[in-house]
Amino acid sequence: MDDKEQKDILENPQHRADDDEDAAEIVSPEHHADQEDYEDYEDQEDQENSELSGAVSSEPGRKDFILLGNKLRAPSLAPALYIVATPIGNLRDMTIRALEVLAACDLIACEDTRVSRKLLTHYGIHTRLVTYHEHNADKQRPYLLSVLEQGKSVALISDAGTPLLSDPGYKLVADMLAEGHAIVPIPGASAMLSALVASGLPTDQIHFAGFLSQKAGARERKLDDLKSVPGTLVFYESPRRLGAVLPAMAASLGGERLVVIARELTKKFEEFHRGTLSELADHYLSADAPKGEAVILIGPARETEPDEADIDAMIIAGLRQGLHIKALSGEIALKVGAKKNEIYKRAQTLKDEMGQNGGV
């Protein structure tokens, strides 16, 4: 294939029917509520990693990938750590730039080689894989640093989605930066952002809280800390724990808060379940656990109009303490979320009334 033909394919892709069948199920969810038990393949993993320790691919020439049935050449890469997003369910969400990086880099660090090989095989990519996950991160970081020190390029991927969200990748990035290496983000799919933009909840302020602890006490303490956080809260969770987690959220954050539970994102049975925390907590207490990892999005606490009688009581108490009306108005406005000038006008009226009645 010449360069003109390759450019035409990249700029004018046409979806093929044979991609549709595999697109929904070939990759696992972006996040894990229960870290996979790696003991079954630790021996295999250690062997693969040791083989790689002195044998990072440096094959000269072209490194190819397959897109829509066509073999394409990947451009060369500068030495760097590339943070590459991969699909969260639908393979058609894989970007061309991500394919080029995965095909051209010298080494790919991934959570689980068994999962990542399925993705690479689908696109005809043969780059070497090495595992990097929370169980071996401390051991693998020095090795990956040494690869970059040799002038090689490394790509970091998760099982699916954007790396560094609820995984140990940030430590690797920090160490790479400390040693003066370049970090290059290759954006793409994200379960958090996909769920957020379709949720119908406010997006101007968001707080990503990741996974809650499985221990009830630690979970409740975390939720209590989040109670005063403004904006939409985003969590990852296992569907089988929704029956325990949602009631805890309702108790700590308020059962009236709006919530959206998104699951099977980008797949055939994608679902968004909407309601209040109390409603969905009741539903999942009795419902069978759904399939697919869940993203829980909780809307901000609803603002309530301050009670006028309570405001008057605060103003009167402050005036009787001899507080200056301007400072008092500002303090009360901040406390109840009202406009300062409105509180000031009300305070002035009450002060005049109290003066007429000999109350001040």
Alpha carbons within 13 angstroms on the beta-carbon side of residue 257 total 26
Contact 81, 183 (CB under 8 A): yes
- Among the listed residues 275, 235, 241, 243, the one whose alpha carbon sits nearest the alpha carbon of residue 257: 275
Res 3: pLDDT: 58
* Segments of the chain with pLDDT less than 50: 13-43, 46, 48, 50-61
Contact 330, 272 (CB under 8 A): no
Q: Which residues contact 102 (CB under 8 A, 6 or more apart)?
A: 65, 84, 108, 120, 123, 125, 127, 155, 157
- Among the listed residues 187, 180, 182, 141, the one whose alpha carbon sits nearest the alpha carbon of residue 165: 187
- Going by the DSSP 8-state scheme, the letter that residue 62 receives in this structure is -
DSSP E strand stretches across 227-319: 232-237, 258-263, 271-276, 294-298
Query: Cα separation of 32 and 183, whole Å?
Result: 25
Res 22: pLDDT: 42
Helix or strand holding residue 278 (H, E): helix 277-286
Res 157: pLDDT: 97
Q: How do residues 268-315 score in pLDDT, each as one tens digit?
A: 999 999 999 999 999 999 888 777 789 999 999 876 667 788 888 999
DSSP β-bridge partners for residue 231: none
DSSP E strand stretches across the chain: 63-67, 70-74, 81-84, 107-110, 129-131, 154-156, 183-186, 206-211, 232-237, 258-263, 271-276, 294-298
Res 2: pLDDT: 58
- Taking the model in full, what pTM does it have? 0.73
Count the neighbouring beta carbons within 10 Å of the beta carbon of residue 293. Answer: 23
